[in-house]
Structure 1
Amino acid sequence: MELPFKRIFISGGAGVIGQEMVRCLAALDAEIQVLVGDIKPRPADFPARFQYRQGDLNFLSEQEIADFAPDLFMHLAATFERSTETYGFWEENFRHNVRLSHHLMTVQKDLPSLKRVVFASSYLIYDPALYTFTEAPARPRSLREDDPILPRNLTGMAKLSHEIELRFLQTFRAAQFSTVCPRIYRGYGRNGRDITSRWVRALLAGEEITVYGAESMFDYLYAADTAEGLLRLAAAEAVTGIINLGTGRARRVADVVAVLQQNFPGMLAKYVASDIPFEGSQADMTLWSSHIDWTPPTTLEVAIPEIIAHERAQAAAAASAKAPGHILVSSVSGKVPLVQAVRQAGQRLYPGIRVIGADINAQALAFHFADESWVMPPTADEQLPNIISYCQEHGVGHIIPTRDGELDFWSRHRAALATAGIAVLVSEPDAVKRCLDKLEFAVLGQQAGLPVIPTSLSIDSLLADDAALSQESAFVVKERFGAGSLSLGLNLPYATAVNHAQNLREPIFQPFIQGREISVDGYVDRAGRVHGLVPRTRDIVVSGESQITTTFHDPELVARLSEMVAKLGLYGPFVLQAVLTDDGQLYIIECNCRFGGASTLGIAAGVDSFFWFLQEAAGADLSQYPFRPAPGPLRQVRAAADVVMEVKR
């Protein structure tokens, strides 16, 4: 099989069909580049050269997919339930079927690279009156593409909805890309959720299986055949619109049980009467055969032993990757925007992630915006066992510290927490100490050749070391440790600076530099590389935090700062405070090795700190999640807002 496409985006590529498709592509052509998107963790056997994006694809951005520039989109992602959909499926179907399909085409429909779209639709679109019966059918009904439609359930409705959307797009984009919607029949395969795989797992566990509707007839389509068929259909670019994909040879449920009996001679099966109508359906493959010289070859007798072998191997191997742990945000206090940003990042990775707000204050405001709250003990060494115990009992897999005073604790214990299966967003102890101690930061910064502002414990030593300074100069006086805004003395004459220092615990002195004060939000990955960096002006500052702040574009400055930050040995988010003078000189004031109070603007501008942390904790290489700065300046205004919510009882 030859494929005329070299850059393929597969949604739902970690599913039962997607995994077969990835294996097929890996063996097909070494030049093919693949981007797989799925909410599940990356399968262990996926080729390293294929990109993998774990997370909810409802959050896939237009820029993100444009950077990959697919020429073929294989849309497999979908959610479904068993024969009878539950009431709770209402919202899940909309989000991960209807909304997702619409979103994925929204971000791709105008891509110049896109040439072909293959949407995995379903035979559930056909009117069930054609193929369901009150009595066991003597023969199956062969469903044709032009047969009446009436979606059987919400899943079928979602499939039909997107078929119509693609038909709409073809009226405007036919010259750019073609679309085809194969209606796939009764799927089953390795690693599946279908009844065949569920029966195999039950039999391997020595359990009895329950059989309903043994006389029903289905067109069983093996996932490996489905994957190959979809790729062959993609290559047949002249084929558009609706087309059936099945074997065209229905088999009874009793046939499946008989094949299982051959492989499990001692199996127990209980046949149960049901009020669910009998089904008798198969694909009319006439249209398919007129275009494609291949039909799915795999029979139940061949496929089921493969599924059994796969399930045995799965059971013998280490436990499969579990859902990522929940996120604990410590010292949450009133950091509502931060909690909301963490939740958004978590939901993009895995919808089941919960955010736990933790604080020693039982009245912490941000508790109301977290999924759960914990009045935690102080971050003292003797409390570490209690903290680990809580995290393990509540499924916490990630910790995000938010206060300077706790960074040393989390940093010193991050190895112990990692052993307990908990990733902490914090730098190494030496880097934390360097950033918390403003004097040490200045000294080591100067030794590393960084343009840090001179800092001293003595104002007279400062004068002695810098001939350009005198008692007529202006000075800054601040605490050596802790938040720099507390008790800050800014632009003070010599005598006033000396007097101001007497009210501080451990004052340090710096020359006052006239210029534009900026903050710089960034993220350093696990390899010590600056993964993203955005500068912003501090337009209005209240109590040390930017109430109004605006990003600006300066590639040369970003390059300089990235090189400087790489020397600090940080990991995770950081905020640099600096001054830019009118003549272009840069002076670094200090560095906070945590997420800053106004750093939510950094996220909006492309420094996706929390999402990157979660991806790295899951083992991802951030080279697959490149920094994409916002195309223009953004401004953030921090304003109080009234939030009305239901009272939890």
Structure 2
Amino acid sequence: MSAVSGAAGAGVSDVPVPDLSVPLGRPPRVLVTGAGGPSGVCFLRALAGSCELWAGDIDPNAAGLYLVEHARRWLLPRGDDAAYAGRLQELCARLRIDVLVPTVDTELLPLARASHEFTAAGTRVLVPRAAALARCLDKWTLIEACRGTVRVPCTVLLEPGVAESFEAGFPAVAKPRRGSGSRGVVLADTPADLAALPLDGSYLLQELLPGAEYSLDVLVALDGTVRAAVPRVRDKTDSGIIVAGRVLHRPALSDDAAKVAAVTGLHGICNVQVREDREGRPALLEVNPRPPGGMSLTVAAGVHMPAWAVASLLGMDVPGHIPHRELSVVRHWQDVVMDLGELGDVAGRA
């Protein structure tokens, strides 16, 4: 099934944005979780006008809840709640949701394991397979999976006696095997700086990569083929979120990102982060197996990943390659003004 429209973004690349009303004969009903985070807000804003949108979050003050009308704002349990997938499946059935877009790391594995049940009930879930998620959410497993496919930094499990013989030397970086953002990351000038960290293999000791950092948004079709890999550089960040950056043409980086997506078995939208070493060679940092918070830059550059990801789940053909153009972007806060009693007022709780 193939259909495109001249929506926003057409003309930036040679590939128009898909008309999402074609597969079902109406705009699809899409629920985006994590509406308080940058990933959820990006997705909601990108799909505005092309879908019927619902927003969910654990926080009644989450900004993205107020990008949709009152009846479509829902409070959700935490992603690590044992009943999370079941309660979300009940909510999707009640709201007749066609596509569920999770944007929070803790939700991904429970939803991946339950994806067949969601599909059987009529809801497609934008989530990779559980095995692919397991490779990416554990940074040690990711490094081991990608070793020999792309350049990876010298990395070892932090265990007794390891720091003193670390091949890459110091300064070095210690980081938890699991977790997102910069939480728990330690820059160690000497082995003594690691004294407070556990030596049980729950941390990694990794070569310091002091060069430029690139973030690549990758769109992978359901058959595993990469249809776009868009490099961007984060010129300025605030609390880990890009606030100024550039979208670039870097074919070698795009090729490496495609290799990482292939070896990990991801599909949908993911984000591959790399950083240059002291010789300027890019090395893999991590993979976020969900839509990234800076995806609005990629949409502005002509690759409407949110629309194409939803289109793919609905059975539409995704172009073999979606080109992008280079640009610069600065980002800013946007106010949502509402009546006094509206803040915290939602339709219900899952």
Structure with the higher fraction of residues in helix conformation = 1
Is 1:61 matched with 2:10?
yes
Question: Do the aligned partners of 1:442 and 1:452 also contact (CA within 8 Å) in 2?
Answer: yes
- Give 1:341 shift: 3.9
3-state DSSP of counterpart to 1:642: coil
* Residue from 574, 577, 585 that aligns with 2:281: 585
3-state DSSP of counterpart to 1:622: coil
* Residue from 41, 51, 59 that aligns with 1:339: 41
- The residue identity in structure 2 corresponding to 1:368 is Y
* Residue from 636, 639, 642 that aligns with 2:332: 639
- The residue identity in structure 2 corresponding to 1:388 is Q
Q: Matched residues in 1 for 2:301 and 2:122: separation? A: 31
- Give 1:549 shift: 2.0
Q: Matched residues in 2 for 1:548 and 1:500: separation? A: 35
* Residue from 147, 156, 164 that aligns with 1:456: 156
Q: Give 1:392's aligned residue.
A: 93
Is 1:622 matched with 2:318?
yes
Q: Give 2:54's aligned residue.
A: 356
- The residue identity in structure 1 corresponding to 2:316 is A
- Give 1:476 shift: 0.5
Is 1:559 matched with 2:262?
no
Question: Do the aligned partners of 1:329 and 1:358 also contact (CA within 8 Å) in 2?
Answer: yes
TM-score if structure 1 supplies the norm length?
Answer: 0.47
- The residue identity in structure 2 corresponding to 1:358 is G
* Residue from 473, 478, 484 that aligns with 2:175: 478
- Give 1:457 shift: 2.1
- Give 1:531 shift: 1.0
Q: Matched residues in 1 for 2:166 and 2:257: separation? A: 26
3-state DSSP of counterpart to 1:347: coil
3-state DSSP of counterpart to 1:610: helix
Is 1:526 matched with 2:222?
yes
The change in CA–CA distance for 1:585 and 1:340 in structure 2 (over 3 A counts) is closer
- The residue identity in structure 1 corresponding to 2:53 is V
The change in CA–CA distance for 1:384 and 1:584 in structure 2 (over 3 A counts) is closer
Alignment of 1:183-582 (within 5 A): 321-335=24-38, 338-339=40-41, 341-345=43-47, 347-348=49-50, 353-371=51-69, 372-379=72-79, 380-446=81-147, 448-458=148-158, 460-461=161-162, 464=165, 466=167, 469-470=168-169, 473-490=170-187, 492-496=189-193, 498-502=194-198, 506-581=202-277
Q: Matched residues in 1 for 2:127 and 2:162: separation? A: 34
Q: Matched residues in 1 for 2:278 and 2:3: separation? A: 43
- Give 1:421 shift: 1.0
- The residue identity in structure 1 corresponding to 2:11 is E
Deviations 1:454-507 (A, max 9, x none): 3222264366473xx34xx211011211114112223533221x1352599932
Q: Give 1:246's aligned residue.
A: none
The change in CA–CA distance for 1:357 and 1:623 in structure 2 (over 3 A counts) is same
- The residue identity in structure 1 corresponding to 2:107 is E
TM-score if structure 2 supplies the norm length?
Answer: 0.84
Q: Matched residues in 1 for 2:335 and 2:121: separation? A: 39
Q: Matched residues in 2 for 1:67 and 1:416: separation? A: 34
Q: Give 1:606's aligned residue.
A: 302
3-state DSSP of counterpart to 2:175: strand
Q: Matched residues in 2 for 1:499 and 1:360: separation? A: 36
Question: Do the aligned partners of 2:42 and 2:295 also contact (CA within 8 Å) in 1?
Answer: no
Q: Matched residues in 2 for 1:542 and 1:522: separation? A: 23
Greater relative CO (CA pairs within 8 A, separation 6+)? 2
Q: Matched residues in 2 for 1:509 and 1:582: separation? A: 17
The change in CA–CA distance for 1:433 and 1:340 in structure 2 (over 3 A counts) is closer
- The residue identity in structure 2 corresponding to 1:573 is I
Q: Matched residues in 2 for 1:548 and 1:424: separation? A: 31
3-state DSSP of counterpart to 1:601: helix
Q: Matched residues in 2 for 1:60 and 1:444: separation? A: 36
- Give 1:615 shift: 0.9
Choose 1 or 2 for highest CA Rg. Answer: 1
Deviations 1:217-247 (A, max 9, x none): xxxxxxxxxxxxxxxxxxxxxxxxxxxxxxx
**Greater displacement, 500-509 / 427-436:** 500-509
- Give 1:378 shift: 3.5
Q: Give the fraction of aligned pairs with identical amino acids, expressed as a percent.
A: 25
- The residue identity in structure 1 corresponding to 2:328 is R
Q: Matched residues in 1 for 2:296 and 2:180: separation? A: 19
- Give 1:451 shift: 1.3
- The residue identity in structure 2 corresponding to 1:640 is W
Q: Matched residues in 2 for 1:373 and 1:408: separation? A: 24
Moved over 6 A (4+): none
The change in CA–CA distance for 1:462 and 1:338 in structure 2 (over 3 A counts) is same
Question: Do the aligned partners of 2:152 and 2:284 also contact (CA within 8 Å) in 1?
Answer: yes
The change in CA–CA distance for 1:503 and 1:542 in structure 2 (over 3 A counts) is farther
Question: Do the aligned partners of 2:158 and 2:205 also contact (CA within 8 Å) in 1?
Answer: yes
Q: Give 1:156's aligned residue.
A: none
Question: Do the aligned partners of 2:108 and 2:127 also contact (CA within 8 Å) in 1?
Answer: yes
Deviations 1:75-95 (A, max 9, x none): xxxxxxxxxxxxxxxxxxxxx
- The residue identity in structure 1 corresponding to 2:88 is I
Alignment of 1:15-34 (within 5 A): none
Deviations 1:410-442 (A, max 9, x none): 111111111111111111101111111011111
- Give 1:360 shift: 2.1
Contiguous gaps of at least 5 residues in structure 1: 1-41, 43-51, 69-319
- Give 1:63 shift: 5.4
- The residue identity in structure 1 corresponding to 2:95 is H
Matched length: 332
